[in-house]
Structures are given as C-alpha cells and as structure tokens.
Structure 1
C-alpha cells in the first residue's frame, strides 16, 4: 500500500488548482472608466464617459474562465463635456432617465483566448433593455499595488454597441448607430 502513497500525493498536487476558488476584488471607482464614442454626421467623433462606478470581480487567476464580473452605475453619471448634450441624452429623445435608473452588466461566460486575453459574454441592461454582449478583454496586470500594498488587478476591454438595440436610435444613421466602447478598470482584493 505504501508504494502508492507517492502517486496519491502527486495526483493531489496536480489536481489542487482545480479546488482553488475565485477571490473577490472590488472596483477602484477612482481608476475605472468607460469611454464611448460615435460618429457625428460624418464631421466628427463625439465622446462621453462613465466613471466612479461600482462593481465586483470574482477572479480566479489559475482558471480565468471560472471568474465573473458585475458592474452597475446610474445613467445620470454620464459625462459628455457639454451640459446641453447631457441634457439632450437624458431627455425623451434618448434615455428619459430617472435619477435611480441604472446600467448593469453581469457576465455569463468567459472564454480564455490567450495568455492575457479573453472574451467576456454578459447581459447588459441599458434603457430598460437587456441584451447579451461580448467584451474583448485584456488582463493588464495583477500584483501588489505599490502604494496600497494590497493585491490589485487591472483589466481593459472593448466592444461595439448598436444603440437602436436599446431604443436609443434617434437620428440614426446620420448620427452613427454604432457606439464604440472602451473600458479600463482597476480592482483591489477585498479583505478576507
């Protein structure tokens, strides 16, 4: 019996990572942004941003496909750089947003595509409509934050949304129906 003990030990060590569990990280609201852009009448590209939002990542570094992410923020935290544009976006032409109206994203699957890349599929709820979207994601860095001295993670992602899918298609196609989305987030490991 004892001659099988080393084999049992090796088997245990080889399968140990499968029992690792995802660690909870909370978004660093001060260093997490969503930037969106769209073509305006062929003359320019207009930009907007959401910042200061809340979210949580359950991150399994050994098995990234077992990770998940949830994010939420009020529509009215949108930044456009011009008050009149913001007011128009919040009007009945677009969001007709109440103060408490939220944008949410909840991942449903993660497909690892490379050493630091993945496709994150999730449900995006925007303007009362929920649709599945795919984010092309990159893990920028994972390690100890040099100032906070705690575990930290950084990720980037991109996607393209069709605003008419969310009942926001006013003035399309003159104002592009496609909206390019760039996401950059930092997250800190939650206290155990």
Structure 2
C-alpha cells in the first residue's frame, strides 16, 4: 500500500490541499539537490584555482644546484721561492654551487679540497708542503671554502666573499669569479653544465704556515677552474 503523507497546501492547480505520496517527494528532492550543491562546488573550485595561480606567481625563482665535476676541476697554486715561481695543484676537489641566474647575488658556493691530494711533481717538495710547517695534512685533512656574500660586477663577473679554512685556521677571503660563456669548447658536450674561473691571493703566515720564511714568499696565489654539472 502506498504511504500517504499528511496533507499540505498546493495551490498550483486549485485552492484545495492535496496529499503527496512519499516516493514522489523523495524523487523531487533528489532532482533538486544537485542544483543546490553544484553552484557552491563550482565556486569553490574556481576560487581555489585563482588562489593557487596567485601563490605560484608569487613564489621566488629558485636557484639551480650544480656539483663540481671532479675529473675536470683544477685547483692550482703558485708562490715564489728565491725569486723563482713554483707551482702545485690539488687533484681531489668537491663542492656545490646554487646558482640563481635571475639574482646572482643570492647564489652560494661551497668547496672542499683534500689537502693530501697536493702535487708539485717533486716528491721531496710534496712531502715538505704536506708537513707540519705548511698544510699539516695529517691534522688538517680538508681545505674548505664557503661563500657568505656575492656581489655581481657584470653579467659574467662577481666578487664572492666567504671563509676559507687552511691548516685548521679560518680566515675571510674574496674570490674574483668569472663565469665562462656557454659556448666555451669545454662545455660543448655538457648540456646544462657551467664553468667558472676563480682567483685569489692569501698570505700563508695567516694560516700558521711559517716554515722557510726567508726563502719562500708569504703570498700564495690560488687559481680554480671548475666545471659544474646540474643536479
């Protein structure tokens, strides 16, 4: 038997109240409900999309991370001994560069050099430089650099201020950095790779490297030629 609900007034066809069956009312509600829900849902989705696009556009451009190509990064140093220029190099170097092309002053760089990788081509000189009068590689195995500030000089040049640790002593230092163009032959087959050359001068006495002061100059020039690959 069909369940008849209480009478209600329906004046669309007549002035007299009529009875409505329960299934009819349920069907009417089911048809009407989506229209009530759909409008707020569409409005919410639209607002969410607009808000998301605003948030994305407001995000700052992020720096891209590069790592040193150890096989093709070279760190060399020169100094004078009795007016003759002497040369050496470090063969094990690692580090990262977070480079923000749109805002180079926000870039950061860190580098680590294995002190025992020092090589001059002369075993006697190598042994002397690795000893306690110079780099003290047994007690200070790592030469480290980290940047603190970058000042752009031009589109390809920058002064990078930071701290360098040698022989267990940390001192401020400024690197003069040249960013090499993409068309450099060294980058021909390295898609996305970058190259930079950095130079600076330190005084070895500031790092407690004081042996043979009457024979070896205090100034030491550092030269870094680095190939970096994007992560």
Above 0.5 in TM-score? yes
Point out where structure 1 has 5 or more consecutive residues left out of the alignment. 1-11
- CA, structure 1 residues 164+17, in 2 after alignment: closer, same or farther (shift >3 Å)? farther
CA RMSD in angstroms comes to 2.1
Question: For residue 81 of structure 1, what is the aligned residue in structure 2?
Answer: 121
Structure with greater contact order relative to length (CA < 8 Å, sep ≥ 6): 1
* Structure with the higher helix share, 1 or 2: 2
| Residues 74-119 of structure 1, C-alpha deviations (whole Å, 9 max, x = no match) | 1101111111101111222223321871110000000001121000
* Structure 1 runs, 4 residues or longer, greater than 6 Å off: none
Q: Match of 2:188?
A: 146
Q: Deviations over 1:12-64 (max 9, x none)?
A: 9xxx698111000010111111111011111x100001123111000111111
What CA distance in whole angstroms lies between the structure 2 residues aligned with 1:178 and 1:76? Answer: 21
Q: Which structure would you say has the larger Rg?
A: 2
Distance 1:17 1:146, change over 3 A: farther
**Does the alignment pair 1:94 with 2:149?**
no
Query: What are structure 2's unaligned runs of at least 5 residues?
Result: 1-53
| TM-score of the aligned structures, taking structure 2 as reference length | 0.70
Corresponding pairs, count: 174
Residue in 1 that maps onto 2:49 = none
1:59 lines up with 2:99 in the alignment: yes
Equivalent residues in 2 for 1:1-192 (5 A)? 19-42=60-83, 44-98=84-138, 101-142=141-182, 145-148=187-190, 150-190=191-231
Q: Give the TM-score normalised by structure 1.
A: 0.84
User: Could you say if the C-alpha distance between residues 153 and 136 of structure 1 is closer, same or farther in structure 2, counting changes exceeding 3 Å?
Assistant: same
